[in-house]
Structure 1
Amino acid sequence: MNTQAHNFIAVEQWQGKAFLGDWSATCGGVTDVNNPATCAVLGSVGIGNATDIAEAAQQARLAQPAWAARLPLERAAILNKAADLLERNAEELIGWIMRESGSIQPKAAIEIEHGAGFVRHAAAVALEPNGILLPSMEADRSNTAKRVPHGVVGVISPFNFPLVLSIRAIAAALAVGNAVVHKPDPRTAVSGGIIIARIFEDAGLPSGVLQVVPGGADAGEAMCADPNIAMISFTGSAAGGSKVGEVAGRHLKKVQLELGGKNSLIVLDDADLDIAASNAAWGSFLHQGQICMSTGLVLVQKSIAEGLANRIAEKARHLPAGDPSTGRVALGPIISDAQVAKIQSIVDDAVAAGSRLLAGGGHDGRYYQATVLADVKPGMLAFGEEIFGPVACLVSFETDDEAVELANRLDYGLAAGVISGSLARARAVGERLNVGQLHINDQTVNGGPFAPFGGRGRSGNGSRIGGPAIWEEFTQWVWTSEKPQATPYPF
């Protein structure tokens, strides 16, 4: 990846402001952007309230028709230039993601790589056919169906993968002719918002087409109710998604929900234990477990359960947690003190209920240790709750059927993995799991621009984002029939 060290994200340009077609002050005030590892103030951003959202949505709606009328080649060229800028400034941007979100360097680098990939794929989608010829229903009438943009798409994104989980929806919406009002999590307003505004600003996106307004729940609710916003694309918790769906539904908006997960990794008794342990540790501990696709449960066949648990615990003991800027840690900070308390309460509940603590189980401030809980059982919070922390929860089973039953008992249905020495056996188990994404002989943390990403149950409303789902989610059909000339009817 090419890098260029310069002040692309110049603090003085956006300090105390949001991107309302240009860099402007907001009515909602200002909030500091902090480093969760050191609590140092990195800058400040403008916070949007309902007034700011209404202004942003109106500007976006006015700008959208001209953007949709642009040739697909022109839209694609701007998207590709934005991807170029993301890659060209990678070194500087990786530093911002590390400082603001508590990411270690490799995870932050993945965000740049995947973010550019999502933008380039969206650029390619802009050049795809967007209509079909329908069968004739009358001899003198032709019928076509064409996909057209919704108008203005509201994007609401979380803190954990702030760049990727924002830009994948923004780029998709822009590619097919929508304008966008984007509300990043204010805790990661730079990585999830300022960076994106800057690359599209320099790429030549017309003013008004993209509005970036950091804000809280009140701003999100205003987006869901605003008459100028036709669709909401939300990534976040199941509780937040439920609220978004409720408010947007009252206003008859299309809603795309990508929510949390309690994802199962099933390890069958013919698996290589060392490889399985490596997969389980990666899926459970990457980015402190703060990923919707994190491996929430490791379901392991009883005959190999102890061997696998010991191997994961050994890995956990050698994964230091600390400030990512030192370059000597595997785990960074948890995003907030409240989240640390939630993780600790779930771990304590499991131990009190009979689970064995094999590694970790505590924290130093926001640095939570990689933790392994064995003998987790249904009924414990650790079994059914999304922890969003670095906790591997091991559950043993006797038969393949029991593994499927345990995995499908969960309310979530985002991702699952199955590891086995027999590909046919792994497939047979995996095909019975109620999930939106299945990974055979791999752990649960996977993603990319070409896959339709989403889940079932509490993990989403069945909608998808990425790949072939771009046209499906970010446009709608218009049926057009044509006759050579108007003809009379019996009335």
Structure 2
Amino acid sequence: MSNTSTAGLLSGAPWTGRIFNGDWAVPTGGKHTVIEPATGTTMTEVGMANAADIAMACRSAKDAQAAWAATDPREKSRIFLDAASAIDADAAALARYVARETGGILPKAQHEVREAAFILRRAAAMAVDSQGLVLPSTPGRLSYARRVPHGVVGVISPFNFPLILSIRAVAPALAAGNTVVLKPDPRTPVTGGFITALALRQAGLPAGVLHVLAGGGDAGEALCTDPHVRMVAFTGSTTVGRRVGELAGKHLKKVALELGGKNALIVLEDADLDLAASNAAWGAWLHQGQICMASGRILAHRSIAPALVEKLAEKARHLPVGNPATDEVALGPLINEQQCQRVARIVEDSVAQGATLVAGGKADGAFYSPTVLSGVTPKMRAFREEFFGPVASVIAFDTDEEAIALANDTEYGLSAAVISADVGRAMALGEQLNTGLLHINDQTVADECVNPFGGCGDSGNGGAVGGPADWDEFAHWQWVTIKREPPRYPF
């Protein structure tokens, strides 16, 4: 397929060999070829930023920040609203591009596009929010606290839900008065950055306020250490997140880390098994399991575990796998063959350790069939490691206390869920789980973009983005007092 589109935001593929700095520029770091996961063929070519390109972008963003922060709030709001309308107007073409670049099925891509427009409208509202509080004080003194922008915010986003996971940081950071330097994953640079840039540029965002530069690890490290950047928002693996946190902390930057997860879905013995199997399958296999909130460990009461395993296996055997851009499929490819091979190794190692491969377990290039493992125990890789692949690992338990202990037996703490006919029992169990997100009678993959989203432990540093958390992340408090005249002090 051509890398161009005949209509809308994607027309002409202006990103070809370039980065975005308010316009389209050729970087010093060279070029990068983007591969379509489903076909293994070249989809497009973008500019590849190096540390020097990042430094120039950060200086430009710093120069533009004061004027952007001083822009009329209604004008900021209008820009976000117009950008959302631009995405809506081109939704079909954008969704198809997201599906191709990420390897996700079309409904998942359509969801990303809808949520991106919604997040922009949330940012439009945020731009005209109250930005402070009047505080109690002594007579004759006005005391208030106001939220002020950090300055330049660096955003590093991943490949799995690139449009949402970029724009959920970019939009509120801009709404708070910051300028942004965004480094999307080079495997998904158009959906992870350039779509957002195109929509905001069309809406009239001033040059220099947003920079989008695909780049590798050197570019990411440069962004974390640049003296003009005061905050870094990172979404990605725990391993890379540790490095981001180390670099940002060393340079006294604020850092928001949204990392991996090995999330537990607990199914109690009184659950409706058909509904439980539907939830477990969705949580484990949606977008080929390449979701930080995926139901990586399905904890089932021993009395129902065999029946739940069989229902999952039946679903796995009938879910079609293929190219989501051309076929009616339930699962597309993983992001590349290397990731597919990693998933296969974890499955093979877990089977060698005693797990039973009930369904799936087949790799074909970047495609991996939906897989069910039973008899998984805490000593196995399938219990410990985040797959980022379509594997449902079923672990049996006997008591609620054992379920809690198994769910908490992980370094991660992102999402958890409990399914039971007894809501009170499920809530009592859920309240004892170490997790940032908790869902009763649902699976673990849920985000509505109006909720605080974040994890603890190896899933993040306890912060959250989204909804009421956005002001907390992307601005800091400044205390201001005003008196009619200076007082006379004893000295």
What TM-score does the superposition give when structure 1 sets the normalisation length?
0.98
Cα RMSD for the two superposed structures: 1.1
Map of 1:114-129 to 2, 5 A cutoff? 114-129=115-130
Distance 1:133 1:321 in 2: 57
- In structure 1, what is the equivalent of residue 378 of structure 2? 378
- In structure 2, what is the equivalent of residue 81 of structure 1? 82
Which runs of 5 or more structure 2 residues have no equivalent in the other structure?
Answer: none
Matched, 1:106 2:146: no
- In structure 1, what is the equivalent of residue 185 of structure 2? 185
Matched, 1:347 2:347: yes
Distance 1:14 1:304 in 2: 53
- The answer on whether the counterparts of 1:11 and 1:43 sit within 8 Å (CA) in structure 2 is no
Query: How far apart are 1:21 and its partner, in Å?
Result: 2.1
- In structure 1, what is the equivalent of residue 465 of structure 2? 465
- The answer on whether the counterparts of 1:78 and 1:205 sit within 8 Å (CA) in structure 2 is yes
Query: How far apart are 1:7 and its partner, in Å?
Result: 4.4
- In structure 2, what is the equivalent of residue 268 of structure 1? 268
- The answer on whether the counterparts of 1:5 and 1:89 sit within 8 Å (CA) in structure 2 is no
- The answer on whether the counterparts of 1:5 and 1:91 sit within 8 Å (CA) in structure 2 is no
Once the two structures are superposed, residues 309-355 of structure 1 have per-residue CA deviations (whole angstroms, 9 ceiling, x without a partner) of 10011001111211112222111111122211210111011111111
Once the two structures are superposed, residues 12-34 of structure 1 have per-residue CA deviations (whole angstroms, 9 ceiling, x without a partner) of 42210010221000011000111
Partner amino acid, structure 2, of 1:179 = T
Query: How far apart are 1:422 and its partner, in Å?
Result: 1.0
Once the two structures are superposed, residues 121-150 of structure 1 have per-residue CA deviations (whole angstroms, 9 ceiling, x without a partner) of 1211222111111111x3332211000010
Map of 1:78-477 to 2, 5 A cutoff? 78-136=79-137, 138-477=138-477
Which runs of 5 or more structure 1 residues have no equivalent in the other structure?
Answer: none
- The answer on whether the counterparts of 1:118 and 1:448 sit within 8 Å (CA) in structure 2 is no
* Helix, strand or coil at the partner of 1:249: helix
Once the two structures are superposed, residues 180-211 of structure 1 have per-residue CA deviations (whole angstroms, 9 ceiling, x without a partner) of 00000000001101111100110110111000
User: Sequence identity, in percent?
Assistant: 55
Distance 1:22 1:289 in 2: 36
More displaced stretch, 56-65 vs 138-147: 138-147
- In structure 2, what is the equivalent of residue 490 of structure 1? 490
Query: How far apart are 1:475 and its partner, in Å?
Result: 0.2
Partner amino acid, structure 2, of 1:6 = A
Partner amino acid, structure 1, of 2:283 = G
Partner amino acid, structure 2, of 1:418 = V
Distance 1:97 1:223 in 2: 26
* Helix, strand or coil at the partner of 2:188: helix
Distance 2:163 2:157 in 1: 9
Query: How far apart are 1:178 and its partner, in Å?
Result: 0.7
Would you identify which runs of 4 or more consecutive aligned residues in structure 1 move more than 3 Å? none
Partner amino acid, structure 1, of 2:95 = I
- The answer on whether the counterparts of 2:452 and 2:464 sit within 8 Å (CA) in structure 1 is yes
- In structure 1, what is the equivalent of residue 56 of structure 2? 55
- The answer on whether the counterparts of 2:141 and 2:483 sit within 8 Å (CA) in structure 1 is yes
* Helix, strand or coil at the partner of 1:202: helix
Distance 1:75 1:60 in 2: 17
Distance 1:454 1:429 in 2: 20
Once the two structures are superposed, residues 394-428 of structure 1 have per-residue CA deviations (whole angstroms, 9 ceiling, x without a partner) of 00100111111100111100001110011111111
* Helix, strand or coil at the partner of 2:10: coil
Distance 1:187 1:314 in 2: 33
- The answer on whether the counterparts of 1:174 and 1:180 sit within 8 Å (CA) in structure 2 is yes
